[in-house]
Structure 1
Amino acid sequence: MSPDLLAILAQPAPLVAPHLIGWTLTHHTPHGSVAIELTEVEAYAGESDPASHAWRGPTARNSVMFGPAGRLYVYLSHGLHHCANVVTGPEGEASAVLLRAGRVVAGVDVARRRRGEQVARHSLARGPGNLGQALALTRQHSGAHLFDGGPLVLSPPSRTPAAVSSGPRVGVSRAHDWPWRYWLPGDPTVSAYRRGKTADTQPVPHLPL
């Protein structure tokens, strides 16, 4: 991992999350490669965040969340869907950004075989479970390095989006009103769910590197 990327990811998830919009996660497999440009993410902190998997401290399941940054944390949701997170923050402090949705920019045919031939292109990775399925992720990928030349690669964009929207988190019963979900405004790949609270659209905030 380059020092600049490490400096970005080594900060707390709420600071990192809006900057991950536009990044691309690629998974190279024997059955083909799929690359997804991120359009929606959601930040989760550690023991200070009651919606986080790490709220009650480290366990065998969430240990990857405690670092180091730049790894993938994958969990199984409701026994059905594998959801992917980028681990952030300083080592020893749990922090991760859930990858909620994205645009398939390479390997569309491969993603469609995994998701279903009738699925519209904008829906191939719309929602965290669908994103995980399109990338063929499982719990076996939890802990994988994203910058060591392995099959999973996280790449920064050539150009940062001009603005992102933020609003309450989705699908959690605690701290759901924290505005830690970020998405690309107006993009059809972003999940359709919206709470009643008005979204805030703002320039991508500066990271104190």
Structure 2
Amino acid sequence: MHNSIPTLLLFFCLMAMSNCTTDQPSSEDTATEEVPTSIEDTTLTDQVPPATLSTPTEAENQTATKDEPATDTKAINHPINPGKHNFTLQWISWEKPGLVQVDFLSENKYKVKGEQKGAENGDFAAIDGVLTWEGNQVFQFDGEITSRVSFVNGGETCVKKGPVHFRATGTRKYWRLQEKENCEGGNVVDYFDIYF
């Protein structure tokens, strides 16, 4: 085992292109550092975004409430950035999006709330709930998505309740609601989109 440590150190030094020696580490160094035992141990196998999310510290958990974001969200690699995002329903307009506010809650959960208003007829689309990152460009949404469009569903309000899913596919720069059927039924579908 001791013969492999200098070899691994030399390997890592060459990889880092720094000036290192192949001297064996002191007992203090090995007590605080875990040295991989093979090259396989150094391979990053899980590149799914939730693995990069860090859990809030105990102090953050004590200061953040259920509906408030954790205090330091900049150090986290978020699958969706906290802040304002465009939000659209195709029946209202893709050219004049509404806005939703996304706030980090904890681990892989995000509060999302906002709306898009139409220019006429009191048309609107609204969303209020929690997005949970599932990986592979998919969020589960728990909450309510409400819409009213004058020429769809007889002009009546349509309410969709979670759990439902938002997914980004291909090169699209938005997550689209996957449970698309409108309350009217038939072949009437809603494209609710939350943009990156």
TM-score, normalising length from structure 2?
0.29
Whose Rg is larger? 2
Greater percentage in strand? 2
